[in-house]
Chains A and B, each alone.
Chain A
Amino acid sequence: MNAPFTIAASGPLTEFTAVSKWYGPVIALNDVTLHLGPGITGLVGPNGAGKSTLIKLLTGQLRPSLGRVRIRGLTAWSAAAKAWMGSCPDVDAFYDEMSGRAFVRIMARLHGFPARLAAERTEEVLGQVGMAERADRPLGSYSKGMRQRIKLAQALVHDPELLVLDEPLNGVDPIGRAELTVLFRQLAAGGKAILLSSHILEDMDTLADRIVFLSRGRILASGSLAEIRALLDDHPLKVRIGASRPRELAARLLRSELVLAAELAGDEVVVQVRRPKRFFASLAEIVIEESYDVERLQVIDASTQAVFDYLVNWNP
């Protein structure tokens, strides 16, 4: 009965092609080209970078001024594209008089599900987000974390291939964060594409397979943290080395043209290096030659925050 009207969407899951969006004279997004596939993609940028605009374009709340945003080959603005996408908005707004269970069930019904399937899916996703036992109270009485979980449940209820999560861990307690992180990982492992925006960059370190850095409406870089860091080869990197004879090691390292600075921190040496790949190769040679006993080697500014800071302040 449904088959004749079902749109068999095809093509890449999500693509932004030369997308620009401006509000009057203000350009919010500038010539953005981006493809999203399975896995977790983190969206990072300062306020005004264009994150919200990008998310609103993807969820079909806005139309691009130039370019195309497509989900499974369908224009993101179109109703059909939204069947493939689940959206967890950052706004903390609900029909507060409804229970969480009723809200999720209604969202399932709005996706066209018959009552029985809607009820089944509702129980399934409430279980997934850990709200099955607590979903009968009015939404207005929920804590921030519970509201986030209900938002996530309504985004999952139609089993979309793409999940757009805007600050999904905001207000969630540490245990909840850990639980939801596991859930996001499970969803990604199941083949879903997740676009996750968060202002807490530490979240990205543990969660995102791939990160899109956005600033002033442009994509500064995208890829895994390691890939992006490797691209920033000329940019100094801080490395902490725990080794025997740290004073001697520091002096030895300072002779290398790749080491810009070195300081002693207890039993460890913290060096600022350029061209990290070459430095690590050279460090290996030094350690072998001089028989240093290296106990610990840690890159201390390759986190999302550090890479992001580099990118934002980078003037090649």
Chain B
Amino acid sequence: MKTPAAYRSSLTGHIRGSAVLALVSLRRMVRSRQSVVCALLLVSAGLAAAAWSLRHAPVVQEFVSEVLLPVYVSFLLPMFSLCCATPSIAADREEQTLVYLLATPLPRPMVCVAKCAASLALAMAWTMATWAVLTWFAGPAGRAVFWPFCPVVFWSTVAYVGLFHLFSVALRRATVVALVYALFLETLLGNMPGIAKRVAISFYTECMILDAGAKLGLSPTVGREPELLLPVSGDVAWTVLCALGFLFFAAGVWRFSREEYA
């Protein structure tokens, strides 16, 4: 067997170390208070969808305008991403355990990637699980849009996780800032007139839904007609969400690699 010295700064050692860090981070996040919040949100979403299905006819249009956009896109999606991505680095920083990670020979970008990967995996699990529960309990109207809107959920989660992970790396009070952003700025920006709303992630999510919905025969909801919403095409929205996710992630890695956490 090799001695400890043989593993100094080896690429395989770094990869192994990053994988362990991602798993440990994931396990800690699963057991955290945020998971309790996410579980409560999931249960609430399922109950709300079930209640909605009892009172409404199974019409896809209504499901989209009354459940999907106001509840899932505007609230649940950013909240799950926030709960999973914001503690990524910020929790270690706050609990002063980051010092141990920074004392290992893992390159900082790999530490950041491992942490972000754990956040993304968990956020994706929550958003997808909630999407499944929501559409299942909403009845036929919900189940009809489950698969077509899965890519929307996926890419929106990527963009939100990227953004909140960047907050986690760069800000001391990442959770507070992320909450303000998710609950106020996104709503405010997403409802701004004209093209001002194009700075909100939810705008591109909505554009992807409109695009996928058009293929299913859905029409824009009241107040969100194309002449008011000024949507971009589904392809452009997808490209923007991908690019945002990547850019936020890269900015987070860059910042983490240079930041003096002391």
B interface vs A, CB < 8 Å?
A: 1-14, 16-17, 20-21, 24, 28, 31, 95-97, 99-108, 260-262
Q: How far is the CA of A1 from the CA of B102 in the complex (A)?
A: 25
A194 → chain B closest CB, angstroms: 15
A95 and B97 in contact, given A79-B9, A111-B7, A113-B4 (Cβ under 8 angstroms):
yes
A interface vs B, CB < 8 Å?
A: 1-2, 5-7, 56, 59-63, 79-80, 82-87, 89, 91, 93-95, 97, 106-107, 109-114, 116-117, 121, 154-155, 157-159
A121 and B4 in contact, given A6-B10, A60-B102, A95-B97 (Cβ under 8 angstroms):
yes
A106 and B105 in contact, given A2-B7, A159-B5 (Cβ under 8 angstroms):
no
B247 → chain A closest CB, angstroms: 24
Point out the residues of chain B lying under 8 angstroms from A1, CB to CB. Answer: 10, 12
Determine which of A80, A93, A121 lies in contact with B105 in the assembled complex, contact meaning CB atoms within 8 Å. Answer: A80
Q: From B102, which residue of chain A is reached at the shortest CB distance?
A: A61
9 tightest A-B CB contacts, nearest first? A112-B13, A2-B10, A93-B96, A83-B8, A83-B105, A5-B11, A109-B20, A79-B107, A87-B103
B231 → chain A closest CB, angstroms: 45
The answer to whether B102 touches A158 (Cβ under 8 A) is no
Q: How far is the CA of A95 from the CA of B107 in the complex (A)?
A: 21
Q: How far is the CA of A158 from the CA of B107 in the complex (A)?
A: 16
A6 and B8 in contact, given A61-B261, A63-B260, A112-B14 (Cβ under 8 angstroms):
yes
Task: Give the dominant DSSP class at A's interface.
Answer: loop
- Pick the most buried of A62, A89, A154: most chain B CB atoms within 10 A of its CB: A89
A220 → chain B closest CB, angstroms: 24
B160 → chain A closest CB, angstroms: 26
Point out the residues of chain A lying under 8 angstroms from B97, CB to CB. Answer: 93-95
A–B Cβ pairs within 8 angstroms, 11 of them: A79-B104, A80-B105, A82-B105, A83-B105, A87-B99, A97-B28, A111-B105, A112-B106, A113-B13, A117-B4, A158-B8
